[in-house]
Amino acid sequence: MVVWTDEERAAISDIFSKLDYDDVGPKCLSRCLIVYPWTQRYFGAFGNLYNAEAIMNNPLIAKHGTTVLRGLERALKNMDDIKNTYAELSILHSEKLRVDPDNFKLLSDCLTIVIAAKMGTAFTPEYQASFQKFLSVVVSALGRQYH
């Protein structure tokens, strides 16, 4: 079981309390598709991904970015049992969406960077450590049901 210190819980709550899902979600997903272009393989039905500008202006990508970020809220609300909270989502990603689990880390790195850019120096090294620990637990839970 993951052990969270009070400082880690406080840091993670604080970060999420300041999160504008409709801004960060789209920025995070579009950055991932631009910086790691092979991740576009999962978005064939999403329309024009031809270049960075098209990706950043794509409304389907924007909407999906927000959806993905809202999914993180489930982990936030169940921090002491992220593993089971995400069991269904893990099956979805492995059996239906067939996403290579290495991609989860790429998206979480982009999320860290987008949040860092928004929070500036308020995203202290300690905040970064707590948030990255949270994301690595999420990534691990999402990859658990792959066989």
Partner 1 sequence: MSLTAKDKSVVKAFWGKVSGKADVVGAEALGRMLTAYPQTKTYFSKWADLSPGSDPVKKHGAVIMGAIGNAVGLMDNLVGGLSALSDLHAFTLRVDPGNFKILSHNILVTLAIHFPRDFTPEVHIAVDKFLAALSAALADKYR
Provide Rg for the chain, Cα atoms: 15
Distance (Å, whole) CA 109 – CA 74: 19
Q: Which of 86, 104, 123, 134 binds partner 1 (CB under 8 A)?
A: 123
If binding is defined by CB under 8 A, does position 125 make contact with partner 1?
yes
Q: Closer to partner 1 at the Cβ: 10 or 35? A: 35
Q: Which stretch binds partner 1 (CB under 8 A): 39-47, 82-90, 96-104, 108-116?
A: 108-116
**Helical spans, DSSP H, in 36-101:** 52-56, 59-77, 82-85, 87-91
Nearest to 93 by CA among 107, 79, 81: 107
Least distance to partner 1 from the beta carbon of 145, Å? 27
Q: Looking only at Cα atoms, what is the longest distance across the chain?
A: 45
Distance (Å, whole) CA 21 – CA 31: 15
Rule CB under 8 A: which of 41-80 touch partner 1? 52, 56
Least distance to partner 1 from the beta carbon of 92, Å? 27
Q: Which residues bind partner 1 (CB under 8 A)?
A: 30-31, 34-35, 52, 56, 109, 112-114, 116-121, 123, 125-126, 128-129, 132
